[in-house]
Structure 1
Amino acid sequence: MNLLLLAIAPVCIIILYVYFKDKYEKEPKRLLLYNFILGAVVSILLTTVIYFAIDMVLVLNHTSIFQQFIRAFFVVALTEEFSKYIIVRYVAQRHSEFNEPFDGIIYAVMVSMGFAATENIFYVLESGYQTAILRAFTAVPAHATFGILMGYFMGKAKFSKNRAQLNLMGLLLAMLFHGAYDFFLFIDFIPGIWLGALASLIVGILLSRKAIKRHQKNSNFRV
């Protein structure tokens, strides 16, 4: 039970943080929970199916930097972010409650945190307390930044004539940061290279804070 709580705690903290940053027009809690569950179940299942299909046709050398680049960006990052993207795009973005740019951030974060919760539970229950603490400050916040960066552009897209381009930009930016984070971890046979993952996480957090502030400033409901 303690391990399960440790796995879920950072997810809950991030959700509360982003929820209270939605200052001017809160989203219905039931709808937020619905998107969280879709992220926790549907995104995970879709990702698993795609991974299974890829593994049947693609075998990558774990000591090849180039092949680990392919794995990080075009297998893991693209698959996972796409599985989140389609929920935000075809469920949240179409809903009438999605009525200001900030909603792109909060719904994308809910989907991402659903995904991160399921993933984190599996990792933590398998590997224990050390993994729980490490992931609470790395992988879980990383998923949050991917969601915020994706949601920033998807929030803009809902109210723009360039919806397709902005939606795609959100997906590509999330994929870029996710791929960079994983790539430096995948090539950990190079001493000290893991610092690149930490650097990409820090940049992602800084950009995420700017994205939140910008959509707060541009809220339709700001008086």
Structure 2
Amino acid sequence: MLLFSVLVAAVAPGLALLTYFYLKDRYDYEPLHMILRVFLMGILIVLPVMIIQRGMMLWLGDNPYLESILISGGVEEFVKWFVIYHIIYNHTEFDEPYDGILYSVAVSLGFATVENVLYAIAGNASVSAMFLRALLPVSGHAMFAVIMGYYMGKAKFIDDEKKKRWYLTLSLVLPFFWHALYDVIMNTMVNHWLWFIAPLMAGLWYGAVGKITRANNRSPFRFVKREEEVKL
């Protein structure tokens, strides 16, 4: 019974956050089957990511900074970015800037949910530990995804090729930077990590809310919906 409760606590944060971001789509809800497919992609990339990370650890050795910056933040964000760019970026359902955020979050939360379940099984974690992980790593994955998806959305709907490449670069580099910083704090600070991670997460959430609003405000469906409301 305890194991079941822990597993539920491991899965619930990812689904709750995915629901939150899905409902934040103000003008054109994405098909649920697409969201679930992308969430499943996030689940499926866990194994190849783990294999790559294991190989890099054997190659680079046991260094907490390299592990935080390259092995964890670098590999995970690159693989998620690769999936979004090559599978979702040119998809017909990616038809407004907010979709970049939503699909990036779906991939990241699929990944984070499996990561959470594996932690719960391997570490004999408690429900309280799962609550803390919901506030930190699971939420962190979502925040990095918001940044990735926001800039992918900007790149998708701009005609200037130079700016398009710049935004695509930011969609990879910025999530990598924040993920690496998060992992450096968690992996190298033993006693005072909370004093650094709490303001970091607060800042990421504050930035995410602004990005959600700005992405929705650039939706091509915004004026269509207003016209429909006026007619009613």
Determine the C-alpha separation between the residues in 2 that align with 1:56 and 1:186: 18
Q: Is 1:139–2:137 an aligned residue pair?
A: yes
**Unaligned runs of at least 5 residues, structure 1:** 62-67
- Matches for 1:1-223 after TM superposition, within 5 Å: 1-42=4-45, 44-61=46-63, 68-125=64-121, 126=123, 127-160=125-158, 161=161, 162-189=163-190, 191-223=191-223
Helix, strand or coil for the counterpart of 1:181?
helix
Q: Residue in 1 aligned with 2:227?
A: none
| Contact kept? 2:57, 2:67, Cα under 8 Å | no
Q: Which amino acid aligns with 1:6?
A: A
Q: Is the 8 A contact 1:8 1:121 kept in 2?
A: yes
Question: For 2:20 and 2:184, how far apart are their aligned partners in 1?
Answer: 28
Distance 1:195 1:170 in 2: 28
The structure with the greater share of residues assigned to helix is 2
Identical aligned pairs, as a percentage?
31
Distance 1:166 1:13 in 2: 29
1:88-144 per-residue CA deviation (whole Å, 9 max, x = no partner) reads 101111101101111100000000000011001111233232321110111111111
**How far apart, CA to CA, are the structure 2 residues paired with 1:47 and 1:101?**
28
Equivalents in 2 of 1:12, 1:56: separation in Å?
A: 34
How big is the shift at 1:215? 0.7
Shift of 1:212: 0.2
The CA deviation at 1:168 is: 1.8
Structure possessing the higher radius of gyration over alpha carbons: 2
Q: Relative to structure 1, is the Cα distance of residues 69 and 40 closer, same or farther in structure 2, using a 3 angstrom cutoff?
A: same
Distance 1:48 1:193 in 2: 25
SS at match of 2:62: coil
Q: CA offsets per residue over residues 27-59 of structure 1, 9 Å max, x none? A: 1111111110001112x1221121122022111
Count, aligned residues: 215
CA contact (8 A) 1:123 1:131 kept: no
Calculate the aligned-residue CA RMSD, in Å. 1.3
Question: 2: distance between equivalents of 1:139 and 1:52?
Answer: 20
TM-score, reference length from structure 2 = 0.88
| TM-score, normalization by structure 1 | 0.92
